[in-house]
Structure 1
Protein backbone atom coordinates (compact mmCIF):
# COMPACT_ATOMS: atom_id res chain seq x y z
CA UNK A 1 0.00 0.00 0.00
CA UNK A 2 1.40 3.38 -1.00
CA UNK A 3 2.05 5.97 1.69
CA UNK A 4 -0.66 8.58 2.00
CA UNK A 5 0.94 11.97 2.37
CA UNK A 6 -1.88 14.29 1.37
CA UNK A 7 -5.59 14.10 0.68
CA UNK A 8 -4.74 13.76 -3.01
CA UNK A 9 -3.23 10.34 -2.30
CA UNK A 10 -6.58 9.00 -1.04
CA UNK A 11 -8.37 6.84 -3.62
CA UNK A 12 -11.71 8.23 -2.41
CA UNK A 13 -10.47 11.78 -3.06
CA UNK A 14 -9.25 10.85 -6.54
CA UNK A 15 -12.56 9.21 -7.40
CA UNK A 16 -14.58 12.11 -5.98
CA UNK A 17 -12.55 14.63 -7.98
CA UNK A 18 -13.02 12.53 -11.13
CA UNK A 19 -16.77 12.27 -10.46
CA UNK A 20 -16.95 16.04 -9.87
CA UNK A 21 -15.33 16.60 -13.24
CA UNK A 22 -17.83 14.17 -14.81
CA UNK A 23 -20.64 16.25 -13.29
CA UNK A 24 -19.14 19.44 -14.67
CA UNK A 25 -18.96 18.02 -18.19
CA UNK A 26 -22.48 16.58 -17.98
CA UNK A 27 -24.00 19.75 -16.55
CA UNK A 28 -22.53 21.89 -19.35
CA UNK A 29 -25.20 20.26 -21.54
CA UNK A 30 -28.13 21.19 -19.26
CA UNK A 31 -30.53 23.85 -20.60
CA UNK A 32 -29.70 27.47 -19.84
CA UNK A 33 -32.82 27.84 -17.68
CA UNK A 34 -31.26 25.33 -15.25
CA UNK A 35 -28.14 27.48 -14.75
CA UNK A 36 -29.16 28.84 -11.33
CA UNK A 37 -30.98 25.75 -10.12
CA UNK A 38 -30.07 22.18 -11.07
CA UNK A 39 -26.73 23.04 -12.71
CA UNK A 40 -25.60 25.12 -9.73
CA UNK A 41 -26.83 22.58 -7.16
CA UNK A 42 -25.26 19.51 -8.74
CA UNK A 43 -21.94 21.26 -9.31
CA UNK A 44 -21.79 22.52 -5.73
CA UNK A 45 -22.65 19.19 -4.11
CA UNK A 46 -20.26 17.23 -6.34
CA UNK A 47 -17.37 19.61 -5.62
CA UNK A 48 -18.14 19.62 -1.92
CA UNK A 49 -17.30 15.92 -1.64
CA UNK A 50 -13.64 16.38 -2.58
CA UNK A 51 -13.48 19.75 -0.80
CA UNK A 52 -14.75 18.28 2.45
CA UNK A 53 -12.36 15.34 2.09
CA UNK A 54 -9.44 17.76 1.89
CA UNK A 55 -10.69 19.47 5.06
CA UNK A 56 -11.25 16.12 6.76
CA UNK A 57 -7.72 15.03 5.99
CA UNK A 58 -6.29 18.19 7.54
CA UNK A 59 -8.48 17.68 10.64
CA UNK A 60 -7.69 14.01 11.15
CA UNK A 61 -5.67 14.91 14.23
CA UNK A 62 -9.09 15.47 15.85
CA UNK A 63 -10.93 12.16 15.29
CA UNK A 64 -14.38 13.49 16.20
CA UNK A 65 -14.05 16.43 13.83
CA UNK A 66 -12.70 14.12 11.14
CA UNK A 67 -15.60 11.68 11.44
CA UNK A 68 -18.60 13.54 12.81
CA UNK A 69 -18.14 16.75 10.93
CA UNK A 70 -16.26 16.23 7.71
CA UNK A 71 -16.80 12.61 6.68
CA UNK A 72 -20.51 12.85 7.43
CA UNK A 73 -20.60 16.06 5.35
CA UNK A 74 -18.91 14.19 2.49
CA UNK A 75 -21.51 11.43 2.67
CA UNK A 76 -24.33 13.98 2.64
CA UNK A 77 -22.94 15.81 -0.38
CA UNK A 78 -22.38 12.56 -2.30
CA UNK A 79 -25.96 11.49 -1.58
CA UNK A 80 -27.27 14.90 -2.61
CA UNK A 81 -25.36 14.65 -5.89
CA UNK A 82 -27.08 11.32 -6.56
CA UNK A 83 -30.47 13.00 -6.08
CA UNK A 84 -29.57 15.73 -8.59
CA UNK A 85 -28.43 13.01 -11.01
CA UNK A 86 -31.85 11.39 -10.61
CA UNK A 87 -33.50 14.71 -11.47
CA UNK A 88 -31.25 15.16 -14.52
CA UNK A 89 -32.29 11.68 -15.70
CA UNK A 90 -35.99 12.31 -15.01
CA UNK A 91 -35.86 15.60 -16.94
CA UNK A 92 -34.16 13.89 -19.88
CA UNK A 93 -30.92 15.90 -19.57
CA UNK A 94 -28.83 12.72 -19.37
CA UNK A 95 -29.41 9.19 -20.60
CA UNK A 96 -29.62 6.02 -18.50
CA UNK A 97 -26.06 4.95 -19.32
CA UNK A 98 -24.45 8.24 -18.26
CA UNK A 99 -26.63 8.32 -15.13
CA UNK A 100 -25.59 4.78 -14.17
CA UNK A 101 -21.87 5.38 -14.68
CA UNK A 102 -21.75 8.53 -12.54
CA UNK A 103 -24.33 7.33 -9.98
CA UNK A 104 -22.27 4.16 -9.48
CA UNK A 105 -19.13 6.25 -8.92
CA UNK A 106 -20.93 8.02 -6.10
CA UNK A 107 -22.02 4.65 -4.68
CA UNK A 108 -18.34 3.64 -4.61
CA UNK A 109 -17.39 6.95 -3.01
CA UNK A 110 -20.10 6.48 -0.37
CA UNK A 111 -18.82 2.97 0.38
CA UNK A 112 -15.29 4.27 0.89
CA UNK A 113 -16.52 7.11 3.09
CA UNK A 114 -18.56 4.74 5.25
CA UNK A 115 -15.50 2.51 5.63
CA UNK A 116 -13.44 5.52 6.74
CA UNK A 117 -16.16 6.57 9.18
CA UNK A 118 -16.51 3.07 10.66
CA UNK A 119 -12.72 2.59 10.93
CA UNK A 120 -11.41 6.09 11.72
CA UNK A 121 -8.33 4.83 13.57
CA UNK A 122 -6.85 3.73 10.24
CA UNK A 123 -6.96 7.34 9.07
CA UNK A 124 -6.50 9.57 12.11
CA UNK A 125 -3.21 10.60 13.71
Structure 2
Protein backbone atom coordinates (compact mmCIF):
# COMPACT_ATOMS: atom_id res chain seq x y z
CA UNK A 1 0.00 0.00 0.00
CA UNK A 2 1.32 3.43 -0.91
CA UNK A 3 0.18 6.92 -1.71
CA UNK A 4 -0.14 7.59 -5.43
CA UNK A 5 2.10 10.68 -5.30
CA UNK A 6 5.07 8.41 -4.50
CA UNK A 7 4.88 7.13 -8.08
CA UNK A 8 5.10 10.62 -9.57
CA UNK A 9 8.54 11.41 -10.97
CA UNK A 10 8.04 15.09 -10.12
CA UNK A 11 7.49 14.19 -6.46
CA UNK A 12 10.54 11.92 -6.43
CA UNK A 13 12.73 14.60 -8.08
CA UNK A 14 11.44 17.28 -5.70
CA UNK A 15 12.29 15.07 -2.73
CA UNK A 16 15.82 14.57 -4.08
CA UNK A 17 16.23 18.30 -4.69
CA UNK A 18 15.08 19.00 -1.13
CA UNK A 19 17.81 16.81 0.31
CA UNK A 20 20.49 18.31 -1.94
CA UNK A 21 19.46 21.84 -0.95
CA UNK A 22 19.41 20.86 2.73
CA UNK A 23 22.98 19.51 2.48
CA UNK A 24 24.09 22.60 0.56
CA UNK A 25 22.70 25.00 3.15
CA UNK A 26 24.43 23.28 6.07
CA UNK A 27 27.51 25.30 5.14
CA UNK A 28 25.73 28.66 4.97
CA UNK A 29 26.85 31.20 7.62
CA UNK A 30 25.17 30.97 11.02
CA UNK A 31 23.78 34.48 10.68
CA UNK A 32 21.69 33.26 7.72
CA UNK A 33 19.98 30.57 9.82
CA UNK A 34 16.71 32.50 10.12
CA UNK A 35 17.02 34.21 6.75
CA UNK A 36 18.25 32.66 3.53
CA UNK A 37 18.86 29.17 4.96
CA UNK A 38 15.35 28.95 6.35
CA UNK A 39 13.78 30.50 3.26
CA UNK A 40 15.37 28.19 0.70
CA UNK A 41 14.70 25.10 2.82
CA UNK A 42 11.03 26.00 3.27
CA UNK A 43 10.66 26.81 -0.43
CA UNK A 44 12.25 23.56 -1.63
CA UNK A 45 10.24 21.48 0.84
CA UNK A 46 7.08 23.24 -0.33
CA UNK A 47 7.54 21.78 -3.82
CA UNK A 48 7.06 18.15 -2.72
CA UNK A 49 4.55 19.06 -0.03
CA UNK A 50 2.21 20.76 -2.50
CA UNK A 51 2.51 17.93 -5.03
CA UNK A 52 1.50 15.40 -2.39
CA UNK A 53 -1.25 17.56 -0.91
CA UNK A 54 -2.73 18.35 -4.31
CA UNK A 55 -2.77 14.72 -5.37
CA UNK A 56 -4.96 13.49 -2.51
CA UNK A 57 -8.74 13.77 -2.81
CA UNK A 58 -8.59 16.86 -5.02
CA UNK A 59 -10.37 17.68 -8.25
CA UNK A 60 -8.21 18.25 -11.32
CA UNK A 61 -8.60 22.05 -11.11
CA UNK A 62 -7.62 21.92 -7.43
CA UNK A 63 -4.60 19.71 -8.19
CA UNK A 64 -3.58 22.20 -10.91
CA UNK A 65 -3.72 24.95 -8.28
CA UNK A 66 -1.40 23.01 -5.99
CA UNK A 67 0.93 22.32 -8.93
CA UNK A 68 1.05 26.08 -9.46
CA UNK A 69 2.20 26.49 -5.86
CA UNK A 70 4.94 23.90 -6.45
CA UNK A 71 6.11 25.63 -9.62
CA UNK A 72 6.26 29.01 -7.88
CA UNK A 73 8.13 27.48 -4.94
CA UNK A 74 10.73 26.15 -7.37
CA UNK A 75 11.13 29.67 -8.80
CA UNK A 76 11.63 30.90 -5.23
CA UNK A 77 14.39 28.32 -4.76
CA UNK A 78 16.11 29.65 -7.89
CA UNK A 79 16.03 33.20 -6.54
CA UNK A 80 17.49 31.98 -3.25
CA UNK A 81 20.23 30.20 -5.21
CA UNK A 82 21.09 33.48 -6.94
CA UNK A 83 21.31 35.18 -3.55
CA UNK A 84 23.52 32.36 -2.21
CA UNK A 85 25.81 32.62 -5.24
CA UNK A 86 25.98 36.42 -5.02
CA UNK A 87 26.92 36.16 -1.34
CA UNK A 88 29.58 33.54 -2.14
CA UNK A 89 27.86 30.81 -0.12
CA UNK A 90 27.90 28.43 -3.10
CA UNK A 91 30.28 28.06 -6.01
CA UNK A 92 29.38 28.83 -9.61
CA UNK A 93 29.55 25.10 -10.34
CA UNK A 94 27.14 24.26 -7.53
CA UNK A 95 24.83 27.08 -8.61
CA UNK A 96 24.77 25.85 -12.21
CA UNK A 97 23.96 22.27 -11.17
CA UNK A 98 21.17 23.30 -8.81
CA UNK A 99 19.83 25.85 -11.30
CA UNK A 100 19.68 23.11 -13.96
CA UNK A 101 17.92 20.75 -11.54
CA UNK A 102 15.32 23.44 -10.76
CA UNK A 103 14.86 24.32 -14.43
CA UNK A 104 14.29 20.68 -15.39
CA UNK A 105 11.94 20.06 -12.48
CA UNK A 106 9.95 23.19 -13.30
CA UNK A 107 9.50 22.07 -16.89
CA UNK A 108 8.44 18.61 -15.74
CA UNK A 109 5.90 20.11 -13.34
CA UNK A 110 4.50 22.43 -16.00
CA UNK A 111 4.14 19.52 -18.40
CA UNK A 112 2.45 17.41 -15.73
CA UNK A 113 0.07 20.23 -14.81
CA UNK A 114 -0.84 20.79 -18.46
CA UNK A 115 -1.82 17.12 -18.78
CA UNK A 116 -4.14 17.12 -15.77
What aligned pairs does 1:1-125 form with structure 2 within 5 A after superposition? 6-60=4-58, 62-67=59-64, 69-120=65-116
Q: CA deviation at 1:8?
A: 1.2
What TM-score comes out, normalization by structure 2 length? 0.94
> How big is the shift at 1:57?
1.2
Which runs of structure 1 show a deviation greater than 2 angstroms over 4 or more consecutive aligned residues?
none
Q: CA shift at 1:24, angstroms?
A: 0.3
Q: 1:103 to 1:66 in 2, by over 3 A?
A: same
Asked if the contact 1:49–1:75 (Cα under 8 Å) also holds between the matched residues in 2, the reply is yes
Classify the secondary structure of the residue corresponding to 2:89. coil
RMSD: 1.3
Q: CA deviation at 1:59?
A: 3.8
Superposition deviation, residue 102 in structure 1: 1.1
Alpha-carbon distance in 2 for matches of 1:19, 1:63: 25
Distance in 2 between residues matched to 1:52 and 1:88, nearest whole Å: 24
Structure 1 residue ranges without an equivalent (≥5): 121-125
Query: What TM-score does the superposition give when structure 1 sets the normalisation length?
Result: 0.88
Deviations 1:31-89 (A, max 9, x none): 000000000000000000000010111144x011011x201000110000000001000
Give the length in aligned residue pairs: 115
Measure, in 2, the Cα distance between the counterparts of 1:5 and 1:45.
Answer: 23
